[in-house]
């Protein structure tokens, strides 16, 4: 039965006036006063280039520090020579250049890539789950990746097939599985719950850790010790080819993630609102999952479990710079990289000549911040 | 295509559950109706009658399992999410935000459907700013541009969310309980703004409300839902009658005339 339409007779409809009609014509290129502070291209460049300059300074600074201090003029000279490619033979004979180019620089770069990736994954997961406490470590993505990597290591899958090592692939699979479980759990309950997510993260971490402990206990002691050290989060020196493979994974992940920046902004308003603003929510979710698993998997297979970087860096950058993901993602990436380069420098110089896992530092810094957020931001998190 | 029809719904059914239970747990059942352009339509009904769900189907946040919806003469299922967002804006019942976005940033997000850059990447241009500034002035939130979404009052946030919907430059504005959490002053404020947008811009408005009196005063038409089915549709005078309300809500009410407008006014008996 079709309902009948009664009521007032159909009067001629007013024409739809586009909004521009009533715009007072001010200087068109000026941002109106109430919109000041929102992101513009020039503001974006300003922040990103400032962060880049700072990153380069921190990078060079960290290169100079170590068991053997290297002066900055030497660093610059060696880098210049290496870039010019003029005296590779001579460079190989000079112990300072060897330390710098083949030990310290790959390690500092690894710290940068790992820190940056963790921070960006943190940003993306927080937006997707609308939870400022989400972090690849806290919600169990890192331990999922670690379990994948541990299986690969212990069952000899670590042997590379061609140039493609099975290790990061297994870690990627582990990260993807734990992400999927996590997401299912957090969206199974109607609405969005910070508690569910954090509790599920704790339990997932416990389950994956139990599996890893089981695997280490049946492995031969030498291997088990190496794995134990790796799990605590270390950045032991990679060689240049391995670093290249890591960059491949990270590059793919970053491109996918970067493309979702605007969608992530809209997703912070909730999935339904995002959809009403034109976001293909399911597609974006899949993309973010894929990228987060790629980045976490690659990072964990190279450096073990380094916690809390993805939690504190996004939070700090949001407070100081912007919550807009177009700016937040790259700046958090750079700041995360800087943070881990510095943390690792402390880890390898504080007790020189011995060193301790960088994960110790990030946990000691990040853990208290996490607790502080948990206790002070309850109303904001909708948890009171 | 009938020229002045915003939406045409043909036997739509929707259920949140899938599979065998879908039919028995359907939230909307075999619903058909026409929603006219340039009017204010109020969707009324008891709790759980499917009001908000219907609104979300109109915004294509969800898709009906059965039946078809036509938006301005085009099948809604054939449009992309972006195409829908250029025509229809949704103001949800509550806007939660846990991140420190400013009001201006949130309002500008409404421009997003008008940019189809590389994976949605775009920079706002002077037109976007002009549209946003205009909408913020219209909703009286221009002075709040730099404030955080999380720190303004409920009424201010609701006005900012409506401003965000306006910068989408939609032809149809959907509002879910726009006055639910507001005090009397702000209720009147929002109701007048909605009416003005409808009059001055010819914006089609569909709003869900619990407030029968508000709907009676401000809607050209009302649609009454009962257990996911259409109970009545028409002018407030023809729908808001004691016998109709009693049948749907299950309680008797007194209906007299509003002293100013002469439109139906509902009171609860003592």
Does residue B2 carry a pLDDT above 50?
no
State whether residue A376 sits within 8 Å of chain B by CB: no
DSSP, residue by residue, B70-125: EETTEEGGGS-HHHHHHHEEEE-S-----S--BHHHHHHGGGGGG---GGG-----
Question: From CA A276, how far away is CA B110, in angstroms rounded?
Answer: 10
Question: From CA B216, how far away is CA A197, in angstroms rounded?
Answer: 43
Are A275 and B81 a contacting pair at CB < 8 A? yes
Are B98 and A382 a contacting pair at CB < 8 A? yes
Which residue, among B42, B83, B44, B77, has the nearest Cα to B62 in the 3D structure? Answer: B77
Share above pLDDT 70 across residues of chain B, in percent, rounded to a whole number? 96
> What per-residue confidence (pLDDT) applies to A227?
76
Question: From CA B120, how far away is CA A345, in angstroms rounded?
Answer: 38
Which residue, among B160, B180, B35, has the nearest Cα to B107 in the 3D structure? Answer: B160
Contacts of residue B101 in chain A, CB cutoff 8 Å?
265, 268, 323-324
Backbone angles phi, psi at B263, to 5 degrees: -80, 160
Comparing alpha-carbon positions, the chain B residue that sits nearest to A283 is: B119
> What per-residue confidence (pLDDT) applies to A15?
44
Mean pLDDT of B219-240: 92
pLDDT digits (tens, 9 = 90+) for B53-97: 999 999 999 999 899 999 998 999 999 899 999 999 999 987 778
Contacts of residue B263 in chain A, CB cutoff 8 Å?
none
DSSP, residue by residue, A343-356: HHHHHHHTTTTS--
Torsion sign across C-alpha atoms B117, B121, B127, B133: positive
For tokens 């309300």, what's the residue?
Answer: B245
Question: From CA A37, how far away is CA B108, in angstroms rounded?
Answer: 12
Q: How far is CA A2 from CA A6, B9, B37, in A?
A: 13, 10, 18
Q: What is the DSSP letter of A161?
A: B
pTM to 2 decimals?
0.86
pLDDT category at B26 given cuts 50, 70, 90 is confident
Question: From CA B159, how far away is CA B184, in angstroms rounded?
Answer: 15
Q: How far is CA B199 from CA B27, B193, B218, in A?
A: 33, 10, 11
Low-confidence ranges of chain A (pLDDT < 50): 1-30, 91, 161-163, 190, 382-384
Question: From CA A103, how far away is CA A238, in angstroms rounded?
Answer: 8
Longest dimension (CA), chain A: 94
CB atoms within 10 A of CB B23: 13
- Residue B260: Cβ-neighbour burial (10 angstroms; 0-12, 13-18, 19+): exposed
Return all residues near A314 (Cβ < 8 A) that are at least 6 apart: A119, A122, A123, A126, A132, A328, A332
Q: What is the DSSP letter of A381?
A: T
Tokens of B270: 């003592």
Contacts of residue A39 in chain B, CB cutoff 8 Å?
105, 123-124
- The ipTM estimated for the assembled molecules is 0.90
Contacts of residue B204 in chain A, CB cutoff 8 Å?
none
Q: Peptide bond preceding A353: is omega within 30 degrees of 0, i.e. cis?
A: yes
Backbone angles phi, psi at B28, to 5 degrees: -125, 135
> What per-residue confidence (pLDDT) applies to A47?
94
> What per-residue confidence (pLDDT) applies to A185?
75
User: How high is the mean pLDDT of chain B?
Assistant: 89
- Residue A384: Cβ-neighbour burial (10 angstroms; 0-12, 13-18, 19+): exposed
Tokens of A295: 């980045």
- Residue B269: Cβ-neighbour burial (10 angstroms; 0-12, 13-18, 19+): exposed
The whole-angstrom distance between A167's CA and the closest CA on chain B is 31
pLDDT digits (tens, 9 = 90+) for A210-227: 998 888 888 777 777 777
Question: From CA B90, how far away is CA B87, in angstroms rounded?
Answer: 10
CA dihedral A190, A194, A197, A201 (to 10 degrees): -170
DSSP, residue by residue, A83-149: HHTS-HHHHHH-HHHHIIIIIIHHHHHHHHHHHHHHHHHHHHHHHHHT-TT--TTTTTHHHHHHHHH
Residues in A 303-322 with any Cβ partner in B closer than 8 A:
318-319
CB B183 within 8 A of CB B155: yes
């Amino acid at each position: 039965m079709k309902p009948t339409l009664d009521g007032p007779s159909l009067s001629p409809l007013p024409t739809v006036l586009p909004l521009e009609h009533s715009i007072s014509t001010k200087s068109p290129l000026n941002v109106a006063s109430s919109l000041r502070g929102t992101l513009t291209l020039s503001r974006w460049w300003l922040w990103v280039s400032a962060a880049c300059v700072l990153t380069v300074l921190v990078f060079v600074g960290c290169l100079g520090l170590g068991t053997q201090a290297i002066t900055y003029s030497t660093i610059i000279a060696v880098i210049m020579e290496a870039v010019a490619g003029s005296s590779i033979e001579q460079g190989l004979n000079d112990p300072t250049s060897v330390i710098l180019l083949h030990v310290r620089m790959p390690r500092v770069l690894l710290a940068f890539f790992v820190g940056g990736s963790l921070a960006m994954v943190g940003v993306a997961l927080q937006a997707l789950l609308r939870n400022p406490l989400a972090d690849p470590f806290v919600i169990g993505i890192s331990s999922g990746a670690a379990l994948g990597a541990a299986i690969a290591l212990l069952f000899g899958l670590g042997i590379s097939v061609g140039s493609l090592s099975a290790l990061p692939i297994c870690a990627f699979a582990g990260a993807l599985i734990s992400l999927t479980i996590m997401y299912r759990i957090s969206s199974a309950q109607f609405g969005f719950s910070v508690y569910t997510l954090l509790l599920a993260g704790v339990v997932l971490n416990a389950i994956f850790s139990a599996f890893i402990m089981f695997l280490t206990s049946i492995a031969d002691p030498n291997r088990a010790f190496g794995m134990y050290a790796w799990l605590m989060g270390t950045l032991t020196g990679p060689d240049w080819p391995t670093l290249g493979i890591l960059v491949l994974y990270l590059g793919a992940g970053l491109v996918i993630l970067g493309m979702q920046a605007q969608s992530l902004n809209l997703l912070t308003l909730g999935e339904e609102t995002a959809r009403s603003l034109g976001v293909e929510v399911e597609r974006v979710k899949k993309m973010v999952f894929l990228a987060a698993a790629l980045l976490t998997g690659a990072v964990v297979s190279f450096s073990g479990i380094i916690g809390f970087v993805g939690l504190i860096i996004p939070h700090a950058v949001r407070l100081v710079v912007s919550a807009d993901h177009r700016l937040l993602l790259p700046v958090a990436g750079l700041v995360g990289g800087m943070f881990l380069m510095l943390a690792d420098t402390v880890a390898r110089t504080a007790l020189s000549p011995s060193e301790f896992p960088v994960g110790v530092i990030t946990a000691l810094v990040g853990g208290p911040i996490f607790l502080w957020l948990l206790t002070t931001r309850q109303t904001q998190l909708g948890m009171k | 295509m009938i020229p002045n029809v915003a939406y045409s719904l043909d036997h739509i059914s929707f259920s949140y559950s899938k599979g065998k239970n879908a039919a028995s747990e359907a939230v909307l059942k075999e619903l058909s109706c026409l929603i006219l352009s340039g009017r204010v339509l109020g969707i009324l009904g008891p709790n759980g009658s499917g009001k908000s769900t219907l609104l979300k189907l109109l915004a294509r946040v969800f898709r009906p399992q059965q039946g078809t919806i036509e938006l301005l003469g085009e099948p809604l299922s054939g449009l992309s999410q972006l195409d829908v967002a250029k025509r229809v804006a949704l103001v949800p019942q509550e806007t939660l935000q846990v991140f420190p976005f400013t009001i201006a940033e949130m309002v500008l997000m409404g421009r997003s459907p008008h940019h189809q850059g590389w994976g949605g990447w775009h920079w706002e241009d002077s037109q976007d700013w002009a549209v946003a500034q205009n909408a913020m002035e219209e909703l009286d939130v221009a002075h709040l541009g730099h404030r955080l979404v999380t720190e303004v009052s409920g009424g201010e946030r609701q006005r900012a969310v409506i401003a965000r919907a306006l910068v989408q430059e939609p032809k149809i504005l959907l509002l879910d309980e726009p006055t639910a959490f507001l005090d009397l002053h702000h209720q009147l404020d929002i109701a007048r703004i909605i009416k003005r947008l409808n009059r001055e811009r010819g914006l089609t408005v569909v709003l869900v409300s619990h407030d029968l009196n508000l709907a009676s005063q401000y809607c050209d038409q009302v649609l009454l839902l009962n257990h996911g089915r259409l109970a009545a549709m028409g002018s407030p005078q023809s729908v808001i009658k004691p016998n109709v309300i009693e049948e749907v809500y299950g309680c008797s009410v007194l209906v007299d005339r509003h002293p100013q407008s002469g439109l139906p006014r509902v009171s609860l008996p003592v």
